[in-house]
Each structure stands twice: as C-alpha cells, then as structure tokens.
Structure 1
Amino acid sequence: MPAQELETQARTLPPAAVARLTLYLRALNALLAEGAERVSSEELAEASGVSSSNVRKDLSYLGSYGTRGVGYEVQFLSRRIAVALGLTQEWRVAIIGAGNLGRALARYAGFESRGFDVVALLDQDQLLIGQEVGWLRVSDASHLEDVLRRTRANMAVLALPAEAAQAVCDRVIEAGVQSILSFAPVLLQVPDHVNLRKVDMATELQILAYHAQRLPEAGTATA
C-alpha cells in the first residue's frame, strides 16, 4: 500500500467526521456509477446532506483539499475515504442470532457492495439450524468457536435477546473477534481492546419522538 494511504489509514479521525465520511463515500459511489469524474464540495455536500464547510474540513483530515474551480477527483477521493475507513481490508462478518432481525441482516445485499462479506449465520434453535437463508446455511451456535475459526470471521453481529447476549459476546471475544456490533437491548461489558458498537432501535425511536413532538411547537414559533 502506498505511504500516503498508510498515513491516511493510521490517522485518528473525530467520530463525527468518520460518520460523515460514510455519507460521502455513498454519494461518491453513486457518482462513479453515473460516470462522473469530478465533484465540487458543494455538490458532495448536497448529495450527502451536510454543509460544504464540513465536507472541506473532513476531507482535509485525509489530505484531500480539491482544486478551486475544479473540485475533487471522484475515483481518487472514493479510494482515500475507503482507506481511511478501513474498507480496503478483508472484513468477514458472522451474524449470531437467526431470528427475524438476523435473517433480514443476512439477506441484505448492501453489505457486500460496501466491503463486508457475511460468512456465517448462527443460532441455537434446533428448528433453525440447517435452514438456508440467502446464500448461507444456519450453523449451530454451540459450535460458535469452530465456525468463527473456519470462516475466518473478524467481525460479529449480535442479533440476540438481552439474556443471551453477554455470554455469547464473551465467547466471540475469546475466539479472537475484536469488532462487534450489537443489536441486543442490554449494555455489554467488553475489554478495552474490543471495539463494540451498540444499535438500540428503541432509543433511536425515543430520540425521534422527542424531535417529532417539537415540530408543532416549531411551526407555531415561525407562524
């Protein structure tokens, strides 16, 4: 990998910038599909739903400043962001929990297009083990460690009920997986070296409800 890309990959970025980089990458990939070669910060901002000043600031972290009157080269910028996000590495994902959510995640084609290869789907329910879901067959979670090792999974998604999540999380970490995305409605305890991201849909709905109930108030204030 070129030295410039290694530097980009090693640089620690602000969490808010990382979140916005994912939006830029999605917009850039859409532009690539349309055959676009260059994009201005204003065009990228509009496609991503952020301000152009944020675009310029975030891309400056990557050493990409664009050219006044010309903008950014779409393909080059897409590559730089992919390197910064770690998407040029091989990410092999195991989904643990083959209930409704786990099966929906396993069928989601967008993972592959974004650089993630779903290599395993596991559950402990004997009625689910062996069923085919998309291109995967549900494996027995009692053999979790063997499945993770055989598939070389380096990321895990926990689509589990609260009472089962911590024990399974511990097994995943013991098996060597250090990047975990949890949909379980419980706070998981992990060592400092493990990257854990929690998706709590109930909390997100509560936040949405807060903003929604303020809409009439905002409307009255501007009337």
Structure 2
Amino acid sequence: MKTLKIPEATIMRLSVYSRYLTEVDRKGIITISSGDIAEGVGVSPAQVRKDLAYFGEFGIRGVGYNVKDLHKDILKILGLSAEWSVSLVGLGNLGLALSTYKGFKERGFIITSIFDKDPKKIGMVVDGVEVMPVEMIEEVVPKTKPQIGVITVPGAFAQEVADMLVKCGVSAILNFAPIVLNVPPEVELRNVDLSVNLEVLTFNVGGRI
C-alpha cells in the first residue's frame, strides 16, 4: 500500500492556518468555519477543507471547527506539540536577527547553541545562549543534541559547517547561505535564498509593467 504523499504547499498552508488560529484563539473565538479561515489567510474554503482532509476528519458539518482543538491537531501534525532544539551557525546580521526572534520560542524552536568565527562575537550572550567558536561545533553539538541546524554563514564556509552538523547527528538543516549543500539523503535540507525570492518578485512585478 502506497503512503499518501502530502504536497509541500499543503504543509506550508497548515503553518499559516496555525498562526491564524493562534490569533483567533487570543480573541476568545470558540468555533470557526473553513470560510472564516480561508478569508483570514487568503485562500478558498475548498482549499482549507482539502488541506485538512489529508489528515483525517475535523470539525462538525454545519457547525465548524473548535478553534482550540483544530489548532492543537495542526500543531501535532506539524510536529510542534514538542520543543525542537536548534543550533545556529553564523552570527552576522541575519543570524543575530534569527537568534533574537521571539516567534521561534513561541512555536517551540529553542536555540540551544550559537557559533561564529569572529573573535569579537565569541563569548557574547544572545538571548541567554553563549556564542561559541565554530571550531567547537563537534564538541558542543553532541551535548546540546539539536535536531535542527541553521546555517547563516557565507557560502564559502557553508558546506564545511553542514558537514560538521551532520557528523554530530543533526537531522535537519535550514540553509540561508547562497550555495547548494550536499547532505546525506536521511538529512532534511531546506534552502532559503532571499535573493532568489526577490528575483521572483521582480519577475512577476516586471511582467505587469
């Protein structure tokens, strides 16, 4: 029997639904319809129902979804019912912004180790975490046991950093360096190239001019 493959776009929308439900819950709203969710996040009601249907049956026909229950179910689907340990390598402008972003903790992503090459940054304490030299990755990471590594170093150093993280048992990498990394197939890799996204925007906007 084949395992149903969930479209990546569906997973991304679930994350958006989750954030929207967080805001709705804060307002004290008890129940919500697929139409309400759709209007709040900018998709169609049919798309909301289709995305949720991949994972089972939710809500009551004609009544809607209990906000707290649906939010809890989506968090469980996304693996956010537990905390995730994160190691960040590279404390430049982007790395510093990510390391101090409060939204990560709210979503269960806890930065447990930070590394950099700059002697001026080593020893700094960022949001309660001391910055360590990159050379200590293979000593520190096995102790903090992060499941996720975030790479925000220049492209020339990114592969070396990725290799060290993988060697230490990191099972997923979020890479902001402008380079294609080579990692074993069992390691989940996500590349975020801000320039590429900006170029997509300019292409789309340019086509309207």
Do the two structures share a fold, i.e. TM-score over 0.5?
yes
* 2:88–2:114 contact (8 Å) kept in structure 1: yes
- Residue 198 of structure 2: aligned partner: 205
Is 1:58 aligned to 2:45, yes or no?
Answer: no
* 2:145–2:170 contact (8 Å) kept in structure 1: no
Q: Deviations over 1:151-195 (max 9, x none)?
A: 221111000101000011011001000100000000001111010
Q: Deviations over 1:116-147 (max 9, x none)?
A: 11111111221210112232221111110222
- Residue 144 of structure 1: aligned partner: 137
TM-score, L = length of structure 1: 0.89
Report the AA paired with residue 193 of structure 2.
Answer: D
Report the AA paired with residue 191 of structure 1.
Answer: P
TM-score, L = length of structure 2: 0.95
Give the Å deviation of 1:90. Answer: 2.7
Q: 2:175 aligns with which of 182, 198, 215?
A: 182
Q: Which runs of 5+ in 1 are unaligned?
A: 1-9, 217-223
Is 1:17 aligned to 2:10, yes or no?
Answer: yes
Give the Å deviation of 1:12. Answer: 4.7
Q: Secondary structure at the match of 1:138?
A: strand
Map residues 139-178 of structure 1 onto 2, 5 A cutoff: 139-178=132-171
- Residue 76 of structure 1: aligned partner: 69
Q: Secondary structure at the match of 1:128?
A: coil
Give the Å deviation of 1:68. Answer: 2.6
Q: 2:127 aligns with which of 128, 134, 137?
A: 134
Report the AA paired with residue 117 of structure 1.
Answer: I
Is 1:108 aligned to 2:101, yes or no?
Answer: yes
**Fraction of identical pairs, as percent:** 40
Query: How many residues are aligned here?
Result: 207
The alignment's C-alpha RMSD in Å is 1.4
- For 1:187 and 1:82, the matched residues in 2 are separated by 30
* 2:99–2:111 contact (8 Å) kept in structure 1: yes
Give the Å deviation of 1:111. Answer: 0.1
Report the AA paired with residue 103 of structure 2.
Answer: G
Q: Secondary structure at the match of 1:35?
A: coil
* 2:115–2:131 contact (8 Å) kept in structure 1: yes
Report the AA paired with residue 124 of structure 2.
Answer: Q
- For 1:151 and 1:167, the matched residues in 2 are separated by 20
